[in-house]
Structure 1
Amino acid sequence: MKSNSIASMIAGVGLALASVFAAGHAEARTLRFSHTDNPGGSRDKAAHVFADKVKEYTKGELTVKVYPSGQLANDPKAIEQLKLGGVDFTVSATGSYATDLKTLNLTALPFLVDSYEQGWALYDTSPWMKAQFAKLPAKGYRMLATWEAGFRSFTTKGPLNSPADAKGKKMRVYPNDMLRWTMEAIGFDTVVMPVTEVYLAIQQGTVWGQENPVDTIKSLRFYEVAPYITLTRHIYSPLPMAISENTWQSLSDDEKTAVQKAADDAATYSRELVRGSEEKQLQEMEAAGATVTRPDIAPFRKAADAVYTRARAEYGDDVDALLSDAAKIRKEMPAN
């Protein structure tokens, strides 16, 4: 009887230990972060800062695996995967999310802000922007923080000194009304394609050029095939970071707090990195053979005026609500 009792006790302890071990491992989760930046680019660096902070703030209960270069999906497909649960996080230009909320197209209105600080204030404090982001959980994901990419400018196969140089040339765009209308107003014919296909498309002559922030131009090496960099800064193009709503709802309150804090930390890192790196990146691209020009912006601004009229006809009062928020910020925070 005694030996049976001891055996039962040992078995019970073993089961208890196994249960604790299994429970501990069940709590540890790996979440997937998809983006289209190359390894070492600013988005990739910020994604790894986020991953490190999530691990730190959750004491290892959550880990984040980063998949760069569109390994899991290009930008539109990654956003679809957020809704389906195929990925847990992604980061992309605001307009990329407009397939689910059309009004987000308006964030790509030309010449909304003139400085990084104005752009940060717009995304962090604008009542219109907050109202749009509040609608996204119902679409299958939510915004955690806004990372930085910068102001969009052109890389082309030939000089682009004024809108006259754009006439009849093919320009790559992503699916966004404001961007497409701005390119058409300047004089381009537009071609929609994922950013992961752009380098080869320029190389093969399918398009004459593309437009993106300096950081993206450098990271994806567009200057190699379209060596004329024209700094029009025509659209402010930051990168809201999103989490799948299914993933968010599966987190405990403590995990939500940790993930949000990690996203905010990564946003601060991203903003400081991109703003601080822009001039150095331009110098590096010039040293590699690119030609950087800062044209007279007035003709580009004048051409883009038509976009506001077109936007009001399509989007109504949302246009002036966003323009009002942007105008207030520009007045309170004049660009240097």
Structure 2
Amino acid sequence: MKGTYLKLAGAAVIAAVLGSGAAAQTVLRFSHTDNPGGSRQAAAEVFAQKVSEYTDNRYEVRIFPAGQLANDPKAIEQLILGGVDFTVSATGSYATHLSSLNLTAMPFLVDSYEQGWELYDNSAWLQGEFDKLPDVGFRVLSTWEAGFRSFTTNQPLATPADAAKMKMRVYPNDMIRWSMEAIGFQTVVMPITDVYLAIQQNTVNGQENPVDTINSLRFYEVAPHVTLTRHVYSPLPLTISEATWQKFSPEDQEAVKKAAAEAAAFSRDLVKNSVDQQIADMEAAGAKVSTPVIGPFRNAVASVYDKARGVYGSAEVDKILADAAAIREALPSK
């Protein structure tokens, strides 16, 4: 009898609290493909904590790492459909839904993190393209960091001549594929969640991604030759489903934007300051890390700019190239 009384009393207390106006927490789903120990997960946790803090705990951002819900292309599709609320992925991954974003993956646009941050925060051309995305079904909240793309292969890669005998995994992005083919690789498109096994089974000889991703997903275990070409700056726009965004009050929209900006600052600082240690850790684990002479790789991809002009139009290509050139001049790399 006493146990029944306690249960009823507890239920009455809960009902009284709910009846007093306490709001039930709304769960928002955040999908990404980084492993739980990676920088994306760390920044996602900061973002989730800040969203809760700035909305008086009315929202819980529930994070699903390692492709639990979807690979990158599927997560972006789910954003549009409202199946997930947030994702974070390379800019080129979003180009399936706005093809001009392929141009951000043109090779050797910028040479330093600071130049890349300026490009993504203040390029008039790029901000104009981001402004088109709500009509597609999602919007950019901030840009997180991943770094510069480099290679991991199961054979040495010192010059473009070495690429001729290799199959290179690429994600669904024309610009990346054109650059890889210009260097000399045969290209194979596949989701990042399939890459480790594909290299292990020799379906492909390697992949290209920022050091942070190479380290997090442990690609150096199956492709131990890490070649630091830094051929593409590849940050990670954090995006929100437009359907989710429109459900927020103006105050909650500002709260989520503030949380996104603070998570971006955390991400940029974390990745930039972790690269040297990640390289050292990979070397300690057996990776063979090298920095090649970059000139032959730059020369190999020179044709990609003209190919881009033929597909996307000279005006669009020249706008982003001009923005990047002005940034490189204003912020020379050290």
Which of the five TM-score ranges fits, normalised by the shorter chain?
over 0.9
State the SS of the aligned residue for 2:274.
Answer: helix
2:327 equivalent in structure 1: 329
Partner of 1:56: 53
Note the residue ranges of structure 2 that are not aligned, 5 or more in a row: 1-11
What TM-score comes out, normalization by structure 2 length?
0.94
1:69-80 equivalences in 2 (<5 Å): 69-80=66-77
Q: Secondary structure at the match of 1:329?
A: helix
Which residue is equivalent to 1:118? 115
Q: What is the Cα-based RMSD across aligned positions, in Å?
A: 1.5
Q: Tell me the residue number matched to 1:8.
A: none
Partner of residue 152, structure 2: 155
Paired with 2:286 and 2:69, the residues of 1 have a C-alpha distance of 33
In the aligned structure 1, how far is the partner of 2:227 from the partner of 2:15?
63
What is the identity, as a one-letter code, of the residue corresponding to 2:328?
R
1:192-247 CA-partner distances (Å, limit 9, x unpaired)? 00000000000000000000000000000000000000000000000000000000
Matched, 1:180 2:177: yes
| Post-superposition CA distance 1:34-59 (Å, at most 9, x none) | 00000010000000000000111111
Of 160, 164, 168, 2:165 maps to 168
TM-score w.r.t. length of structure 1? 0.94
- Give the C-alpha shift of residue 116 in structure 1: 0.2
User: In structure 2, how many angstroms separate the alpha carbons of the residues matched to 1:238 and 1:85?
Assistant: 24
Distance in 2 of aligned mates of 1:85 and 1:180: 30
**Structure-2 separation of matches of 1:176 and 1:283:** 30
What residue number does 1:132 align with? 129
The within-5 A match list for 1:2-81 is: 21=18, 24=21, 26=23, 28-81=25-78
Moved over 4 A (4+): 17-20, 22-27
Q: 18-27 vs 230-239, which deviates more?
A: 18-27
How many angstroms does 1:28 deviate by? 2.2
Once the two structures are superposed, residues 44-78 of structure 1 have per-residue CA deviations (whole angstroms, 9 ceiling, x without a partner) of: 00000000001111110111000000000000000
Unaligned runs of 5+ in 1: 1-14
Aligned pairs for 1:202-221 within 5 A? 202-221=199-218
Question: 1:333 corresponds to which letter in structure 2?
Answer: L
Percent of counterpart pairs with the same letter?
Answer: 66
What amino acid is aligned across from residue 126 of structure 2 in structure 1?
A: M
1:319 to 317, 320, 332: 317
For 1:307-332, what per-residue CA distance to the aligned partner results, in whole angstroms no more than 9, with x for missing partners?
00100101111100000000000000
Task: Provide Cα deviations, 1:93-118, integer angstroms capped at 9, x if missing partner.
Answer: 00000011000001000000000000
CA distance in 2, matches of 1:259, 1:22: 27
- For 2:183 and 2:20, locate their aligned partners in 1 and report how far apart those are by CA, in whole Å: 60
- Structure 1: how far apart are the matches of 2:248 and 2:77? 21
1:124-148 Cα deviation digits (max 9, x unpaired): 0000000000000000000000000
Partner SS state of residue 331, structure 1: helix
Change (3 A) 1:60 1:100: same
Residue in 1 that maps onto 2:81? 84
Equivalent residues, number: 322
Query: For 2:251 and 2:24, how far apart are their aligned partners in 1?
Result: 13
Q: CA deviation at 1:169?
A: 1.1
Relative distance call for 1:24 and 1:197 in structure 2 (3 A) is farther
Distance 1:246 1:296 in 2: 47
Q: Choose 1 or 2 for highest CA Rg.
A: 1
Cα separation, 2, equivalents of 1:132 and 1:23:
46
1:168: how far off? Answer: 3.2
Paired AA for residue 249 in structure 2: S
Contact 2:23 2:58 in 1 (8 A): no
1:253 shift after superposition: 1.2
Asked if the contact 2:160/2:183 (under 8 Å) is kept, the reply is yes
Give the superposition deviation at 1:26. Answer: 4.9
Q: How many Å apart are 1:18 and its aligned residue? A: 5.2
Report the CA distance shift for 1:150/1:26 in structure 2 as closer, same or farther (over 3 A). Answer: same
CA distance in 2, matches of 1:325, 1:52: 35
Read off the aligned partner of 1:69 and give its amino acid letter.
A
